[in-house]
Amino acid sequence: MILELCLEGVFAIVDMFFVSRLGQNAIATVGLTESVITIVYSLGIGLSTGAAAIVARRIGEKNPEGAARAGAQAILLSTAIGLITGTLGIIYGGDILKVMGAAPEVVESGAIFARILIGGSVVIILLFLINGVFRGAGNATMAMRSLWVASGANIILCPILISIFGLKGAAMATLLGRTIGVLYQTKHLITGDGELKFRREYFKFDFPILKSISSIAWPAGLQFIIGSGSWILINRWVAETGGTAASAGYQIAIRNFVSSFYRRGD
C-alpha cells in the first residue's frame, strides 16, 4: 500500500518533468489543471473507501459472491459520477483555467489539456475505486501492480506524445496510462484472481448496496475535498498575484513536496 501511494505521485512528477521543457505557460497549465483534478481524486478516494469497507465486510462473512456484487455496484456508481464530471470538464475546460487565475495566453494554449485530463475523470475514479475493491478483498498487491502498469505506461508514452502533439500529448499520455491501468485491473476482476470474480449479472443496479456504499463514501470524499479546496485556493492566489512565472515555479516546487510527502507520511 505504501508503494501504491508513492506511485500516485509519479503521474504528476513525470508529467511536470517532461512538460517543463515546453515553457512556463505549459507548466502553469499542468499545475492549475491538476489542482482542480484533486476534487476528482477526492471523489475517487471517497468511493474507494466505501467500496473497500463493504467488500471487506463481505469477505469477512465468507461471502465472496456478495463482495464481488458490492464491487460491481461501486463500479457502476463510480462510472456514472466520472462521466458527469468528465462531461463538465470537456465543456468548461478553458473556463476552469480562467477561474483559476490563468493568464489569457495560458488559457488559450492549455484549454485542450484541461479538457482531455478532466474529461478522463471516469478513468481516474475507476483506478482509485477498483484498487479499493482489491484492498477490501485483501489483495493490496494487485492494487500496487495496477499502478505500476499505469505509471510505466505514462513514463513511456509521455515523451513520445509530447514530441508529437506538444502539451496536448502530455494529457493524452496520462489518460492512456491510467486507461491501461484500469484495463489491467478489469482483466483480473474478470479472471477472478484472488477472492473476487465478477459476473455480468452483478452489474444490475442494486439500490440497497449503492446506498450502503454512498453512506460511507460521501463523508470520506468530503474530508478530502475540504483539503483539496485549500490547495486550489492557494494555486489561484499564486497565479493571480504572481503571474505565470510564479505559478510555474510554485508547481515545480510543490511536486518536490508531494514526492517527499508520499515517501514519509503514507
29 lies in some domain: yes
pLDDT confidence of residue 265: 41
Rounded alpha-carbon distances, angstroms, from residue 72 to 161, 189, 224, 260: 33, 10, 24, 35
Burial (CB < 10 A; 0-12, 13-18, 19+), residue 230, is exposed
Inter-axis angle of helices 167-191 and 140-165, to 10 degrees? Answer: 150
189 lies in some domain: yes
Contact 229, 177 (CB under 8 A): no
Cell of 240: 493571480
Please tell me what DSSP assigns to residue 205. -
Picking from 264, 228, 259, the residue whose alpha carbon sits closest to that of residue 16 is: 259
Cell of 168: 496536448
In a 13 Å sphere around the CA of 110, the CA atoms on its Cβ side amount to 29
264 lies in some domain: no
260 lies in some domain: no
Say how many domains are in the chain.
1
pLDDT confidence of residue 18: 86
88 lies in some domain: yes
CA distance 209 to 116: 32
171 lies in some domain: yes
pLDDT confidence of residue 113: 94
pLDDT confidence of residue 5: 64
97 lies in some domain: yes
Please tell me what DSSP assigns to residue 46. H
265 lies in some domain: no
Q: Which domain holds residue 129?
A: 2-255
pLDDT confidence of residue 263: 45
Block mean pLDDT (10 aa), the chain, length 266: 66 78 90 90 93 93 92 95 95 93 90 94 95 89 87 90 92 94 91 77 91 92 86 88 89 72 45
